[in-house]
Amino acid sequence: MPVRLLHMMAGDLGVMRIAGEDDARFMARTTYTALRFWMQAYCLDDGYGGSYGLSGNTVRHRAVDWLRGIGAIQPGMASWYGGTDGYADAAARVFEVLKATGDLARTADGLYRCTSRHSLPVGTGRAIVMGLADPTDDRTSAMSGMAYLTEAAAKPDPTRAKRPVGREHAYTADFTPLDGRHTLITLSAPLNLFPKRGRTIDLLVWPHRHARDLQQLVVRTDYTPIIVALLENTGFTTAVH
């Protein structure tokens, strides 16, 4: 029963199995995706209907406890995360992404609240749905990483959609199909070197080999044009095979 519930979670989030992926890695990616929504839920569970907020430490600790509980059901999942320390690292990484992209907002008291639903433009006329939103409601593109895309926004954001003129591209990004639905991205430099734009990309990808992987990433193939635009704007030369 618990394993079946995990598969139901994957279905709700739109997480699909990569060709050749075993149950443990599939469940690891599913729980990684779900962390965004659990962190939102924790911020709502402050005893005041989400109006007060929770400390960052509390949000991260609750996320780690949740991962440990799932890991007890699917023990092999821990190898992708790297055990207890890996759970903490993953929770911290996701928390930082959500802060940087406006999914969680810091209050004047230093606590964190879940934001209301809003859109984050990512170029080529598309936007990521952020804030408190049901991933099973009005979804126009299936989940990839921790986010899903809306249809064309009112106006494309040209600063994100086009390669900057005159910028020297010192880094490379190779896109290689894994199967008909997923693509592997291999970066010559890790995303954490680009904190502002890298955080947005983090929402749309999964680490590949393990949760700490910053240079081999997996994305749904239909998200590839968005990632190409974001990486080229960040300073990468891209090659799609």
pLDDT tens digits for range 163-222? 444 455 689 999 999 998 999 999 999 988 887 778 889 999 999 999 999 999 999 998
If pLDDT is split at 50, 70 and 90, which confidence band does 87 have?
very high
Question: Positive or negative CA dihedral for 6, 8, 12, 15?
Answer: positive
| Residues 23, 75 contacting (CB under 8 angstroms) | no
Which of these ranges, 11-15, 46-50, 116-120, 129-133, has the smallest mean pLDDT? Answer: 46-50
Query: CA-to-CA distance for 9 and 4, rounded, in angstroms?
Result: 9
If pLDDT is split at 50, 70 and 90, which confidence band does 157 have?
very low
Q: Is residue 23 part of a domain?
A: yes
Contacts of 166 (CB under 8 A, 6+ apart): none
**pTM here?**
0.88
The domain in which residue 19 lies consists of: 2-114
Q: Is residue 133 part of a domain?
A: no
Average pLDDT value for the chain: 85
Task: Name the phi and psi angles at 169, rounded to 5.
Answer: -95, 105
Question: How many structural domains compose the chain?
Answer: 1
Secondary structure (3-state) at 225: helix
Q: What is the DSSP pairing of strand 112-114 with strand 118-123?
A: unpaired
Q: Is residue 55 part of a domain?
A: yes
Q: Is residue 195 part of a domain?
A: no
Q: Is residue 170 part of a domain?
A: no
Cβ–Cβ contacts within 10 Å for residue 62, how many?
Answer: 18
| Residues 173, 226 contacting (CB under 8 angstroms) | no
Task: Determine the average pLDDT of the residues in 115-130.
Answer: 84
Q: Is residue 10 part of a domain?
A: yes
Q: Is residue 216 part of a domain?
A: no
Q: Is residue 238 part of a domain?
A: no
Angle of the 83-100 helix axis to the 23-44 helix axis, nearest 10: 50
